[in-house]
Amino acid sequence: MNTSNLPAASSSNRILATPSAFAKANYLYAQEAGTLTSLRPHISKRERLNSYLIMIVTKGSGFFTYGNEKRNLSAGACVFIDCHSEYSHESSAENPWTLDWVHFEGKEAKSWYLAYCSSGFPYLFHPENPEAFSDTILQIHSSLNKADAMSELNVHFLINHLIHLCFLAGQKATLTLSHQAESELTHKLSLAREYIINHCDKPLNLDLLSEVCYLSKFHLAREYHRFYGVTIIQDITFKRIAKAKSLLRFSSDSIENIALGCGFQDAGYFSKVFRKSEGISPKEYRNKW
């Protein structure tokens, strides 16, 4: 197909840098930095690059694929990736994006990236201050453009600053996700506990409760104990004993009926569990109160 008459896919202002041997041996150095505005949708695909990429969307939206995961990116989204792995990005047709980016390599670049990943921070995040990323990339671009005696040292410190911004944003994103996950877990555990309170007189087990709160029974058992400080079996027993104590005090039902009405198998088992909990038999409890 003849593509000579197609309009340009994008308009960019980039600098391709050629670092000195000293910078390669001692610094973090930029390979290229710039700003790109998409003019029409097109896919940019890369893999096996000896480079690390920090990129931020300043306007518009598009798609970014990394690690077989395709994500929608809009203004304020930032990525920090290892370009040895395959990645691609494509602007949306309806809302073409503008990107600021820097490719870098150098001494300790891999170590910093691995430290970021080992901290559990995401490759895609939304910093609270995206302008700080854009401003730093602009400063890197400006330093590369000057190409004076201090340029490579300035770029080294600016890339370090950019990585520091990634760590701060990554930590914030991780804490936010953890809080959201904990809130969701708390809600699911409350569903299980509410069900126990309302149905303590019925047969209860982990399989049933896991269906109620949409957690695996192993996850439910572990997190319930962590959150409430008691096992599910203990809590079921506590609720049944509490209901039995109320019936012993404020009703004239027989101990046998109370036992069955509170979810116990029989009066003998009920008396055994009650004595273990209260130190006296159900009959003694009723007489005392």
CATH of domain 10-178: 2.60.120.280
What are the residue ranges spanned by the domains of the chain?
10-178, 199-289
Confidence class for position 100, pLDDT limits 50, 70, 90: very high
Give per-residue pLDDT as tens, 211-260. 999 999 999 999 899 888 899 999 999 999 999 999 999 999 999 999 99
Confidence of residue 67 (pLDDT cuts 50, 70, 90): confident
Q: For position 271, what pLDDT does the model report?
A: 95
pLDDT band at residue 4 under the 50/70/90 scheme:
very low
174 or 284, which is more confident: 284
pLDDT (average), residues 3-24: 78
Q: With 0.75 as the threshold, say if the pTM is over it.
A: no
Q: Which residues contact 255 (CB under 8 A, 6 or more apart)?
A: 248, 267, 270, 271, 282, 283, 286
Q: Can you state the angle between helices 217-228 and 151-198, rounded to 10 degrees?
A: 90
| Structure-token pair, residue 286 | 């009723």
Residue type, 30: A
- Cross-strand partners of 12: 36
Q: What is the pLDDT of residue 226?
A: 85
pLDDT above 70 (res 275): yes
Angle at 220 between CA 265 and CA 273, to 5 degrees: 25
The backbone torsions φ and ψ at residue 78, rounded to the nearest 5 degrees and listed phi first, read -135, 145
Flag whether pLDDT at 263 surpasses 80.
yes
Q: What pLDDT band is residue 9 in, cutting at 50, 70 and 90?
A: confident
**Rounded to an integer, what distance in angstroms lies between the CA atom of residue 46 and that of residue 113?**
18
* CATH level 3 topology of 199-289: Arc Repressor Mutant, subunit A (1.10.10)
Band of pLDDT at residue 8, cut at 50, 70 and 90: low
Torsion of CA 166, 172, 177, 183, to 10 degrees: 180
- The reply to whether 199-289 shares the fold of 10-178 is no
Neighbours of 55 (CB within 10 A): 21
Euclidean distance between CA atoms 35 and 14, whole angstroms? 6
Is pLDDT above 60 for 283?
Answer: yes
- Please check whether residue 131 is in contact with residue 23, taking contact to mean a CB–CB distance below 8 angstroms: no
CA–CA distance, 215 with 284 (Å, rounded to integer):
41
159-200 per-position pLDDT tens digit? 999 999 999 999 888 887 778 778 888 889 999 999 999 999
